[in-house]
Amino acid sequence: MKTSIATVSISGNLREKLDAIAKVGFDGIEIFEQDFIADTGTPREIGNMIRDHGLEITLFQPFRDFEGLTGDARKRAFDRARYKFDTMVELGADLILVCSSTHPDALGGIDRAADDFRDLGQIAAERGVRVGYEALAWGRHVNDHRDAWEIVRRSDHPNIGLILDSFHTLARKIDPNTIRRIPSDKIFFVQLADAPLIDMDLLYWSRHFRNMPGEGDLAVNEFMRSVAATGYDGPISLEIFNDQFRGGHPEGLARDGYRSLVALMDDVRRTEPDVRIKTPEIPARIAVEGVEFIEFATNGEDAYALAQLLKSMGFAHAGDHISKKVALWQQGDIRIILNQETTGFASSAYITHGTTICDVGLKLDNAKATAARASALGATTFEQPVGPGELNIPAIRSVGGSVMHFIDDESGLSDVWSVEFTRSVSDAVAGAGLGKIDHVAETMNYDEMLSWSLFYTSIFDMQRTPMVDVIDPDGLVRSQAIKSRTGAARITLNGAETHRTLAGSFLAESFGGAVQHVAFATDDIFETARIMSENGFEPLPMTGNYYTDLQARFGIDADRLNMMRDLNILYDEDASGAFYQFYSKPFAGGLFFEIVQRAGEYDGYGAPNAPFRIAAQKRLMRPKGMPRR
Ligand code: MG
Ligand code: MG
């Protein structure tokens, strides 16, 4: 498969874009005229610079408002075309995109347009270039790929072909399966973009909200399957206009783009039986069976306080690492590691962020296959020297730079706890009923949320749930859950737009996205809260008003409500079930723990309670704007 990306999809100047695009592994670029005009090089120099990056120019674009004109206007359109063809020859580009006209004087008429393209094909042939015609979703007369194809067909010229763009087809809700009837040799180029479903003007939607395949809600997979079914095996190119991306990091965007293309084509390969596009054979998406461990990088007073907190929550100090200053705390199936090493990854994470969750271990079916898929999708493999007696557990860097380990039963990797840890004598502590990790909540800048969700949904067999708004007294936080099919692994992503929110201030202090809270599940939250309270655990105090309102909303009986008030337990319910939760006080710059109980089929995270929880946490934290260190 030949991968390509439009220069408009990436931030930066042309040279920065080329560096980023080449680095992550694309084969080619669509060069946007604007990027080319803004550069100081001559067309020939720019063409050479692109090829020096190991990239091919797959397309030159755009050429607007060509067809359907008469008289002088028609003549001028052909003059413009000649100028562009000459530029292409200098650049070393052999294909140009002509998008359907939005010109107020364009007359329409399939045959008139076909005549225009036949004449244009002749001029293109003389210069050895080809012309691809694309139906814009808002084209004046042509806004459907089926009409564009009819024009191409009637122009009957070897240098005239069709360009398909998933956005233009899917935004107008045109059945992508209609592509299956177009001959592959007349499809000159394919552009892909996804987008969130928003009801708005098509032009505005397209220019500001496109995103990478898999990041939005359009049926890009079905579109690409239809294209592949024709036998098309030319370039597959991303053309993404997005306001957030324009201010993003060029290499991060390029990597997301590459990841989205590889994942999409892998899906196409698996679902469309007979395609000519050769795609790499990579392992299928991996099902996540749960979170195997959470590792804190910590030291000094923080480390002591954290150990006391875990103890009050019913965790037992279950073991110590055979050679490192690393302690294992355990309760039920939950494993928490406190790493106080002064060298290695955890130590550098501590130096950069303070006490932080530097590593999350996922339990899955096949650790090696997961690492192979992640690495094929452009993830960075993580390796650290393995000491004597230690296992070599596959790991990658996650989006925020923390480490993610993959653990399975098959390869003996889940034996790590008995192999690398000595059993502690103090493991006879009675627990508080915490059985497993319910969810891990990560906080990042809102602009990075798509990157994080693409990371999880492209590597793992996990689905996104719709985004919800969480109202912090000082700004909005968007929250989105990613979960495995069974719900055994749940990750919530919280995107902060301002540093004044609780999530935002955590970001400012921790220098980048990271896990901010971990939620543990219990089967009896009242009993758990009582035991923890006897152990000296101090829950996050909720207001009396919260409970008055709760009774008004749900009509909870007085005894139960009193118990909830005494234990600071929050409550939510919906048609599928009920949800109980309480929180620890924030520690180490805004980290916290949560205890939850799900009843029935409740699948959410208590979002209606978030504003009250956040207000309570903020009352306990330092005044706004006061730095920690
Ligand atoms: Mg396009
Ligand atoms: Mg939570």
The pLDDT, as a whole number, for residue 230 is 97
Cα–ligand 1 centroid distance for 62 (angstroms): 9
Among all bound ligands, the one having the nearest atom to the CA of 598 is: 2
When pLDDT is cut at 50, 70 and 90, the band that residue 623 belongs to is: low
Question: Which ligand is in closest contact with the Cα of 617?
Answer: 2
Among 374, 58, 46, residue whose Cα is nearest residue 191: 58
Stretch 352-375: mean pLDDT: 95
Q: Which ligand is nearest to the CA of 609?
A: 2
What ligand has the least distance to the C-alpha of 62?
1
For 293-322, how does the pLDDT look when each residue is reduced to its tens digit (9 = 90+)? 999 999 999 999 999 999 999 999 999 999
**Gap from CA of 360 to ligand 2 centroid (Å):** 16
Ligand number nearest CA of 520 is 2
Query: For residue 351, how far is its CA from the centre of ligand 1 (angstroms)?
Result: 46
CA distance 260 to 458: 7
Ligand lying nearest the CA atom of residue 239: 1
Pair (176, 61) in one structural domain: yes
CB 584 within 8 A of CB 537: yes
Distance CA 448, CA 496 (A): 10
Cα 150 to averaged position of ligand 1 atoms, centre (Å):
18
Instruction: Give percent above pLDDT 70 in the chain.
Output: 98
Does 279 map to a domain? Answer: no
Instruction: Tell me, in angstroms, the distance from the centre of ligand 2 to residue 548's CA.
Output: 23
> 445 CA distance to ligand 1 centroid (A)?
29
Residue 445 shares a structural domain with residue 576: yes
Confidence of residue 116 (pLDDT cuts 50, 70, 90): very high
Phi-psi region of 344 (alpha: psi -120 to 50; beta: other; left: phi over 0): left
Quick one: 392 and 441 in the same domain? no
Residue at which a domain ends, from 423, 455, 484: 423
Provide the residue range defining the domain that includes 373. Answer: 288-423
Residue 6 tokens, joined: 């439009």
Q: Which ligand is nearest to the CA of 607?
A: 2
Q: Which ligand is nearest to the CA of 241?
A: 1
* pLDDT tens-digit readout, 50-88: 999 999 999 999 999 999 999 999 999 999 999 999 999
If asked whether residues 233 and 318 sit together in one domain, one would say: no
Alpha-helical (H) ranges within 535-586 are 544-554, 558-567
Q: CB of 277 within 8 A of CB of 235?
A: no
- At 621 the pLDDT is 81
Distance 622 CA to ligand 2 centre (A): 22
Burial zone of 103 (CB within 10 Å; 0-12 exposed, 13-18 middle, 19+ buried): middle
pLDDT one-digit tens code per residue, 474-498: 888 999 999 999 999 999 999 998 8
Cα–ligand 1 centroid distance for 163 (angstroms): 8
Nearest ligand by distance to the CA of 440:
2
Give pLDDT, residue 474.
87
What pLDDT is attached to residue 425? 58
Is pLDDT above 80 for 426? no
Of 211, 244, 271, which residue is a domain's last?
A: 271
Whether 317 and 216 share a structural domain: no
Per-residue pLDDT tens over the stretch 31-52:
998 888 999 999 999 999 999 9
Q: Do 343 and 467 belong together in one domain?
A: no
- 627 has a pLDDT exceeding 70: no
Give per-residue pLDDT as tens, 217-236: 999 999 999 999 999 999 99
Distance between Cα 614 and ligand 2 center (Å): 11
Tell me the one-letter amino acid at 488. Answer: A
Q: What residues sit around ligand 2, an ion, with C-beta below 5 angstroms?
A: 441, 519, 594, 605
Distance 93 CA to ligand 1 centre (A): 17
Per-residue pLDDT averaged across 178-200, rounded? 96
Q: pLDDT tens, 379-423?
A: 999 998 888 888 899 999 998 889 999 999 988 888 888 889 987
pLDDT of residue 189: 98
**393 located within any domain:** yes
Question: Could you tell me the distance, in angstroms and rounded to a whole number, from the CA of residue 358 to the centre of ligand 1?
Answer: 41
How far away, in angstroms, is 462 Cα from ligand 1 center?
30
- Domain assignment present for residue 429? The answer is no
Q: How wide is the angle at C-alpha 349 spanned by C-alphas 343 and 353, nearest 5°?
A: 135
Res. 471 pLDDT band, cuts 50 70 90:
confident
The number of the ligand nearest the C-alpha atom of 516 reads 2
**Residue 186: which of 135, 150, 137 has the closest Cα?**
150
Is 247 found in the same domain as 111? yes
Q: Are residues 334 and 222 both part of a single domain?
A: no
Identify the three-state secondary structure at position 122: helix
| Ligand number nearest to the C-alpha of 605 | 2
Residue 277 belongs to some domain of the structure: no
Lateral strand order in the sheet of 421-423 = 395-397, 403-407, 356-364, 288-297, 334-339, 326-331, 316-321, 421-423
Mark which of 271, 297, 324 sits at the end of a domain: 271
The CATH number linked to 384 is: 3.10.180.10
* Nearest ligand, CA 9: 1
Whether residues 104 and 149 share a domain: the answer is yes
